């Protein structure tokens, strides 16, 4: 079960305006969350004491939101409370992430949720980006977009088609009609290649190395960057990658660049591989990491490099929790 929160305000304390605000709020919550009526357990409203002319629950029923228990209560008259404000809590039977909605004057109650919040986290392989990004997204209740997974999906396609990744034209033809999408299941990213969930197949050492090669082609990047920008414009999300702060979202308000010593990064990746049942010696992991670093940093298009306005965090000697709180402190200062 999940709870969706929301709030809005009413122009005047009259039934028409209450009906209008409640309908607008519920319509927006349902559409932004792709919510079906049969997923709803109940809807509860509370309204500030200056709303006296109509029950928000009645307005909801009249607007067609009527297949579940509805409830309204009145809040005490508290000095300084936002005027004519209606708050809602919707309990829903679902496990995937939900989006809270704040409209009209109520936007000021949750500035963090009332605008699209993008956080760019760039850095080399093994710097801790994906672990940290996932935790931050979860803490803030926003999505996590693993952009590397998209390049990995293209690399997997090359492997499956036995395509020569060094031949630009072969890769160009291969991706002409490629269908790469990301979806979310229980808050976790699912990477779809031509409709198939390839989330685990893209994590092999072979795909890792190949992804670094194919991501250097400008036509590959153009296609993936368009998709990343589209997602970032629609949803609040943490994006991790190599060029988010420099190229994908150069105007992003929150940019971080994680680094770590290559031996530390290789140790982390080696342990991660062992936990996933991938066998590769530490020396080979280190060699792969250094080779990928070289490619990612030296390619002509959108190479891995820190944006001038990114905050650099060297994670070599830091725990995950320390990196997460360093980033969250910076973000929460501003939202």
Does residue 125 bind ligand DC (CB under 6 A)?
Answer: yes
* H-helix segments, the chain: 15-32, 56-62, 129-140, 148-160, 168-176, 205-214, 218-234, 262-275, 282-298, 320-334
- Please say which residue, 93 or 226, places its beta carbon nearer to ligand DC: 226
Closer of 17 and 296 to ligand DC (Cβ): 296
> Residue 296 CB, nearest distance to ligand DC (Å)?
5
Say how far apart CA 143 and CA 235 lie, in whole Å.
7
Q: What is the Cα–Cα distance from 228 to 216, expressed in whole angstroms?
A: 16
Using CB under 6 A, which of 151, 165, 217, 257 touches ligand DC? Answer: 151
Gap between the Cα atoms of 86 and 185, Å rounded: 31
Within 97-176, where are the H helices? 129-140, 148-160, 168-176
CA distance 152 to 157: 9
- Any residues with CB less than 8 A from the CB of 175 and at least 6 apart, and which? 154, 157, 219, 220, 223
CB of 97 vs ligand DC, minimal distance in Å: 21
288 binds ligand DC (CB under 6 A): no
Q: Which strand ranges, in their side-by-side order, compose the sheet holding 85-92? A: 70-74, 40-47, 85-92, 2-9, 101-102
Instruction: Assess 242 for contact with ligand DC (CB under 6 A).
Output: yes
Residue 244 is classified by DSSP as: I
Q: How far is the CB of 125 from ligand DC (least distance, A)?
A: 5
The verdict on 17 binding ligand DC (CB under 6 A) reads no
Residue from 165, 199, 286, 296 in contact with ligand DC (CB under 6 A):
296
Query: 3-state DSSP call for residue 54?
Result: coil
Tell which residue, 89, 8, 87, 1, has the closest CA to residue 43. Answer: 89
Q: Should residue 273 be labelled a site residue for ligand DC when binding is judged by CB under 6 A? A: no
Instruction: For ligand DC, give the closer residue by CB, 60 or 248.
Output: 248
- Write out the binding residues for ligand DC, residues 167-226 only, by CB under 6 A: 208, 211-212, 215
Binding mask 243-262 for ligand DC (x = CB under 6 A): xx------------------
Residues touching ligand DC, count (CB under 6 A): 15
Q: Which of 6, 56, 128, 241 binds ligand DC (CB under 6 A)?
A: 241
If binding is defined by CB under 6 A, does position 268 make contact with ligand DC?
A: no
Q: Does 157 bind ligand DC (CB under 6 A)?
A: no
| Residue closer to ligand DC, measured from CB, 200 or 329 | 200
Please identify, using beta-carbon distances, which residue of 248 and 327 lies nearer to ligand DC: 248
Among 8, 21, 33, 147, binds ligand DC (CB under 6 A): 147
- In whole angstroms, give the CA distance from residue 333 to residue 95: 30
Residues within the interface to ligand DC (CB under 6 A): 125, 147-148, 151-152, 208, 211-212, 215, 241-244, 292, 296
């Amino acid at each position: 079960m999940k709870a969706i929160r929301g709030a809005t305000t009413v122009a005047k304390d009259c039934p028409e305006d209450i009906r209008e605000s409640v309908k607008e709020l519920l319509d927006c919550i349902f559409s932004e969350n792709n919510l079906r009526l049969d997923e709803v357990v109940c809807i509860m409203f509370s309204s500030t004491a200056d709303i006296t002319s109509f029950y928000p629950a009645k307005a909801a029923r009249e607007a067609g939101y009527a297949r579940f228990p509805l409830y309204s209560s009145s809040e005490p008259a508290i000095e300084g409370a936002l005027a004519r404000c209606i708050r809602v809590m919707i309990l829903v039977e679902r496990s995937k992430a939900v989006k809270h909605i704040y409209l009209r004057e109520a936007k000021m109650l949750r500035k963090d949720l009332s605008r699209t919040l993008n956080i760019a986290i760039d850095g080399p392989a093994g710097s801790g980006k994906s672990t940290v990004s996932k935790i931050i997204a979860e803490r803030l209740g926003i999505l996590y977009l693993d952009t590397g997974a998209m390049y990995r999906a293209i690399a997997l396609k090359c492997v499956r088609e036995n395509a020569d990744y060094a031949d630009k034209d072969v890769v160009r033809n291969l991706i002409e009609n490629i269908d790469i999408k990301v979806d979310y299941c229980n808050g976790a990213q699912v990477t779809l290649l031509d409709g198939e969930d390839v989330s685990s197949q893209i994590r092999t050492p072979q795909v890792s190395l190949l992804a670094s090669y194919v991501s250097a082609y400008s036509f590959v990047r153009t296609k993936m960057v368009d998709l990343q920008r589209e997602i970032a414009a629609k949803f609040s999300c943490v994006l991790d990658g190599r060029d988010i702060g420099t190229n994908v979202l150069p105007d992003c308000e929150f940019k971080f660049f994680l680094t770590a010593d290559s031996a530390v990064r290789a140790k982390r990746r080696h342990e991660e591989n062992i936990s996933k049942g991938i066998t590769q010696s530490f020396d080979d992991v280190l060699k792969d990491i250094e080779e990928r670093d070289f490619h990612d940093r030296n390619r002509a298009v959108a190479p891995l490099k820190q944006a001038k306005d990114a905050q650099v965090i060297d994670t070599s000697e830091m725990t995950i929790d320390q990196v997460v709180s360093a980033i969250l402190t910076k973000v929460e200062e501003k939202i």
